[in-house]
Structure 1
Amino acid sequence: MTRGATEAAITETLEKPIDRRAIPANATESCWTAQDGHELRRIDWQMPSRVTRGSLLFLPGRGDFYEKYLESLEEWHRAGWRVTAADWRGQAGSGRLGDDRLTGHVEDFSVWVADLKHFWDSWVKETPGPHVLVAHSMGGHIVARALVDGAIQPDAVVLSAPMLGMAGPPLPLAVLHSVARVMTRIGSPKRPAWKWSEKPGEMPARRRDLLTHDDDRYADELWWRENRPELAMGPGSWGWVESAYASTRELEKPGAMEKVQVPVLIVSTSIDKLVDHKAAVRAAGRFPRGELIEFGPEAHHEVLREVDAVRGRAMDGISAFLDKVAPAAT
């Protein structure tokens, strides 16, 4: 193929519409093995045809799966990034840690931090820099913990609606944590902490109103759940809740975020009903190199799956941030 024909083929690929309900032809799904032998899913895009921008690792939220974010992942790849995404242990296609297939359980968030460190150390050696992390919701919390614990040293981090605090009763964090600890002791810590729906496995009414204004993108998630039933997950366990509060208290310790020198961009929305927006705003100020993109009523929790105008602003902001703090290697 001539140089002109090659460039034409690349241009055609870049302009081709993204199918949010199909694994891209240039991406490969596989598994990686944690230190204790647990297998977890991953997906990797081939090296971009054009000049490589760097490498980007995406990590989803609680009860999430990377299929929901194929649109953003493919866009980053087309922008020149070598893209990878992975499940958290016990979620999506990476098994379960509880007593049933729907309840999301973990004994301690440190398990996820350890998995991230193990994956990160090998991934960085295999991929070109700069190396950036993008994480959503609970994934953002775990990445923040890994930064505070010194487990990873990315060139830049983007946190989408990070779970740096959970939306809920306006009580002191210590009180909420104490209640959760009691609940793990009066019954199985693996039992669901909240009601999911009247019928096991059925999606709760009005769930879309918590996640996105975009009906089509919300329907994409339902399509993937139907076609890959193993991805479905319901409520978190009381053990998960207790561990989430315990980990949040670690993040809230004086000097914890303040010692992190990695550039961190936080994308958050003031009407988020799943995570605490005020905690995200505080974190953007606590990270020495923190920045904030703030949305209002136009955006629900899943900003990267919002209507085009909102999502476009978020994606453009992320690109501008990464161009500034993690420019392509020369």
Structure 2
Amino acid sequence: MTLVSIPANPVPEGAVSGIIKTPDGAELRFARWLPPSGRKGTVCVFTGRGEMIEKYFETVRDLRDRGFAVAMIDWRGQGHSSRRLRDPRKGYVRSFADYEIDVESFVQQVVLPDCPPPYFALAHSMGGTVLLRIAHAGKRWFDRVVLSAPMIDLPGRLTTLPVRAFARALRLLGQGGQYVPGGSGKLTGTDAFLSNPVTSDPVRYARNAAILDEDPTLGIAAPTVAWADSAFRAMVTFRKYDYPSKIRQPILMLAASNDTVVSTPAIEEFAYHLRAGSHLVIAGSKHEILQEQDRYRSQFWAAFDAFIPGSPPFK
């Protein structure tokens, strides 16, 4: 399975890509890069909803400059991994537990056989939700975990009981495969820059939109009712008072002060109760910190370098 390369976003040198199959029949696209000569350790990157491997080529280069191997997957239902619905643009998952199957399949079939230890994880938004669930379950594949704007909760009243009950009712009525009310088939990440909620960097936003222009089959559109219901059920579990205290994994959470996609206060509250966790709010950044202006990205990488062993810039 090839990676999509455009002049503004070429594939980092040395990529190996392919397809793995999960026990429940999903096909997942993966990509991996070896570390620079003489260096060891792998960072596994887990994207957010609607994202794909190609969007993180710059991050791959940043990590390899730090001496790490890098490995990634496209989640089931997005990128060039298999999609379950007839309309491939619909963002669908049956349960967030399915994403945990994706991670375990990836670790067992790609990371452990072909990537050098020690292993670390870097996850964004929805990817952070999945990694927290895995850590809470006691699965210790990764020595340390860095989360960028993890989806602990949504802002405002988006996850109140009436909203959650409405999504559950629609799903029980057989509407799980339909777009959420108000959702459409327009690809996520193709709106005009001025109206976008994810980054204040016009160059990186245009680069990511150009990836979808080159290959629209990489993208997905609005979430389905089933995805929303599954996300609500996952996020509600995070509200249990003892949920974060049961996580033993060392975790660093990076939040964005101008985030309108996920709740920054929820991230802060969750992080306060982690036994081995810390957090930093990056003032001025929007949701996609790694796709932001350099002044925000530099703060992210400074925190990463202080937290992940062996990560001073490779020279």
1:145 to 133, 138, 157: 133
Q: For residue 87 of structure 1, what is the aligned residue in structure 2?
A: 74
Residue identity over aligned pairs, in percent, reads 28
Q: For residue 110 of structure 1, what is the aligned residue in structure 2?
A: 97
CA contact (8 A) 2:282 2:299 kept: no
2:88 to 77, 80, 101: 101
Cα distance change, pair 222–253 in 1 and its aligned pair in 2 (3 A): same
Aligned length: 304
2:285 to 294, 299, 307: 299
Q: For residue 233 of structure 1, what is the aligned residue in structure 2?
A: 220
Q: For residue 258 of structure 2, what is the aligned residue in structure 1?
A: 271
Matches within 5 A, 1:171-182: 172=160, 174-182=161-169
Matches within 5 A, 1:116-127: 116-122=103-109, 123-127=111-115
2:64 matched to 1:68?
no
1:23 to 11, 35, 38: 11
For 1:210, what is the secondary structure of its paired residue?
coil
Following superposition, the deviation at residue 226 of structure 1 comes to: 1.2
CA contact (8 A) 2:88 2:220 kept: yes
Cα deviation digits, residues 92-137 of structure 1 (max 9, x gap): 1112223312110111111111221232234235432221010000
Following superposition, the deviation at residue 183 of structure 1 comes to: 2.1
Query: Unaligned 5+ residue runs, structure 2?
Result: 1-6
User: What letter corresponds to residue 270 of structure 1 in structure 2?
Assistant: S
Following superposition, the deviation at residue 259 of structure 1 comes to: 1.4
For 1:291, what is the secondary structure of its paired residue?
strand
Relative to structure 2, which stretch is displaced further, 233-242 or 178-187? 178-187
2:205 matched to 1:215?
no
Following superposition, the deviation at residue 69 of structure 1 comes to: 1.3
Cα distance change, pair 32–171 in 1 and its aligned pair in 2 (3 A): closer
Cα RMSD after superposing both structures:
2.2
Following superposition, the deviation at residue 238 of structure 1 comes to: 0.7
Provide TM-score, normalisation by structure 1. Answer: 0.85
Cα deviation digits, residues 55-96 of structure 1 (max 9, x gap): 110010001112111111111012110111111111111122
2:37 to 49, 54, 57: 49
CA contact (8 A) 1:27 1:44 kept: yes
Query: Unaligned 5+ residue runs, structure 1?
Result: 1-18
CA contact (8 A) 2:153 2:159 kept: no
For 1:299, what is the secondary structure of its paired residue?
coil
Q: Name which one, 1 or 2, has greater alpha-carbon Rg.
A: 1
CA distance in 2, matches of 1:257, 1:32: 32
CA contact (8 A) 2:34 2:68 kept: no
Q: For residue 313 of structure 1, what is the aligned residue in structure 2?
A: 299
CA distance in 1, matches of 2:165, 2:192: 30
Following superposition, the deviation at residue 20 of structure 1 comes to: 5.2
Cα deviation digits, residues 135-177 of structure 1 (max 9, x gap): 00001101111111223441000010111112242664x4432
